[in-house]
């Protein structure tokens, strides 16, 4: 096996429209020593054919075909096949700003103490193949932080989505291998957050780059979160799992996890889950969502947060009518806003 400096792992599932663009954006980084590992996860469109064609035309590209097992299985397959000192994950319908990423990778390569690099990302919202909105997120301070320093600002990193995704980071393969880190294939959702926290627990120095580099394509038909949440009967189990994972960050007792930090992370996390699940649930299932949240919330002894008080009270008081009304109202308002922005951009 040829040894590469950087390994780009790209799970592929039914992304025939965008796969070429993704690979081209990687190639434009102009690295001398890299590999692109495409894992075709049982695609039923032309993605598999495109993967083979890219492999034939580019010596840096390797293609692996497998039955459909999900993104976690595909990424784990990529980790096992990777030869690079550093690993990056991309989704096949996304892209990167090549020149900016090149500068990040050169910085990472020149400082062997960096265990993890984080950079900014943009959620690009598309309607009929037209981008009508971009939400850019990045931790605003450039530079390297030791473990105590980044634990001190962990809440801030989390709040700008610097922690959860895996596609805005550069990982050291040595850390993954030595700690036997891989994606949890039993998780239906938020497997990225689980993986990122467990990796961070093994890090000392991280380095943040505030430039927007990763572009995540968000389409109107993307309802995967709600559909996958249908398979989870009790949301509190998932929240408790993430809480247990958070404690791994503080295992050496140099810094003690605070109740405020748990509240600031876990309550919004639970509310996002509840909101997404309500969108795809019937009335009786919404009752269970309320009951589960009430039990979890009362056990935690959290103070009432300043934000989201209305939604929290609707869950605690089981205001089913309001919750059902809100999901249709928000959906309709969103559709109208998208249509207006699309029409404005068409002129």
Least confident window among 98-102, 224-228, 342-346 = 342-346
Tokens of 57: 């035309």
pLDDT band at 130 (very low <50, low <70, confident <90, very high): confident
Helix intervals (H) in 58-163: 71-81, 98-110, 147-152, 154-159
More confident residue, 111 or 280: 111
More reliable by pLDDT, 278 or 7? 7
pLDDT of res. 346:
53
Which comes out higher in pLDDT, residue 301 or 187?
187
Which stretch, 7-11, 260-264, 325-329, has highest mean pLDDT? Answer: 7-11
For residue 253, what pLDDT band results from cuts at 50, 70 and 90? low
Give the side-chain half-sphere CA count within 13 A for 237.
Answer: 8
Q: Where are the alpha helices (DSSP H) in 111-218?
A: 147-152, 154-159, 173-178, 191-200
Q: Is the pLDDT of residue 65 over 80?
A: yes
**The total number of residues written for the chain in this structure:** 347
> Which tens digits make up the pLDDT trace of 97-110?
999 999 999 999 99
The residue to which tokens 């398979």 are assigned? 231
CA distance 212 to 96: 9
Q: What is the pLDDT of residues 196-211, one digit of tens each?
A: 999 999 999 999 999 9
User: Are 114 and 206 contacting, i.e. CB atoms less than 8 angstroms apart?
Assistant: yes
What is the set of domains in the chain, with CATH numbers?
A: 6-222 (3.90.550.10), 235-345 (no CATH)
- pLDDT surpasses 90 at 329: no
Q: What is the mean pLDDT of residues 216-225?
A: 69
**What contacts 40, CB < 8 A, 6 or more positions away?**
12, 13, 47, 48, 51, 63, 64, 65, 66
pLDDT value of residue 315? 87
pLDDT band for 332, please (50, 70, 90 cuts). very low
pLDDT at 325: 52
Q: pLDDT per residue over 143-153, tens digit each? A: 999 999 999 99
| H or E, element range at 63 | strand 61-66
- Please indicate, yes or no, whether the overall pTM of this predicted structure exceeds 0.85: yes
User: What proportion of the chain, given as a percentage, has pLDDT over 70?
Assistant: 87
Task: Pick 95 or 334 by higher pLDDT.
Answer: 95
Residues paired with 38 in a beta bridge: 10, 63
Whether the per-residue pLDDT at 1 is higher than 90: the answer is no
The residue with greater pLDDT, 88 or 312, is 88
Mean pLDDT over the full length of the chain: 88
Greater pLDDT, 124 or 334:
124
**Residue 85, token pair as written in the block:** 């000192």
Q: What totals of helices (H) and strands (E) does the chain contain, helices first?
A: 14, 10
- Position 300 pLDDT exceeds 90: no
Specify the residue for token string 């394509």. 217
Q: How confident is the model at residue 234 (pLDDT cuts 50, 70, 90)?
A: confident
């Amino acid at each position: 096996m040829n040894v590469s400096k950087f390994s780009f792992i790209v799970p592929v599932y039914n992304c025939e429209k965008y796969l070429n663009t993704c690979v081209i954006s990687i190639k434009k980084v102009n690295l001398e020593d890299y590999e692109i590992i495409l894992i075709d996860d049982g695609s039923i469109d032309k993605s598999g054919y495109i993967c083979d064609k890219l492999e034939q035309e580019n010596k840096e590209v390797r293609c692996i075909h497998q039955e459909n097992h999900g993104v976690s299985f595909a990424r784990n397959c990529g980790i096992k096949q990777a030869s690079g000192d550093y690993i990056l994950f991309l989704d096949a319908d996304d892209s990167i700003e090549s020149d900016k990423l090149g500068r990040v990778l050169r910085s990472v390569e020149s400082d062997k103490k960096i265990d993890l690099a984080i950079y900014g990302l943009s959620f690009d919202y598309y309607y009929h193949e037209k981008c009508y909105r971009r939400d850019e997120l990045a931790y605003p301070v450039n530079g390297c932080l030791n473990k105590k320093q980044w634990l001190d600002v962990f809440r801030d990193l989390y709040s700008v989505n610097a922690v959860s995704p895996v596609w805005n980071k550069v990982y050291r393969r040595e850390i993954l291998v030595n700690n036997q880190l891989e994606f949890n294939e039993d998780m239906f959702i938020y497997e990225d957050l689980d993986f990122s926290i467990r990796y961070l627990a093994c890090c000392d120095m991280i380095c943040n780059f505030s430039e927007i580099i990763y572009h995540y394509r968000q389409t109107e038909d993307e309802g995967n979160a709600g559909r996958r949440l249908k398979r989870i009967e009790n949301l509190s189990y998932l929240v408790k799992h993430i809480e247990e994972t958070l404690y791994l960050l503080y295992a050496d007792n140099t810094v003690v996890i605070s109740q405020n930090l748990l509240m600031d992370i876990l309550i919004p996390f639970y509310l996002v889950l509840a909101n997404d699940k309500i969108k795809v649930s019937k009335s009786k299932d919404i009752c269970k969502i309320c009951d589960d949240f009430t039990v979890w919330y009362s056990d935690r002894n959290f103070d009432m947060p300043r934000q989201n008080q209305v939604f929290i009270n609707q869950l605690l008081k089981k205001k089913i009518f309001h919750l059902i009304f809100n999901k249709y109202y928000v959906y309709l308002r969103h559709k109208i806003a998208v249509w207006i922005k699309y029409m404005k951009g068409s002129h």
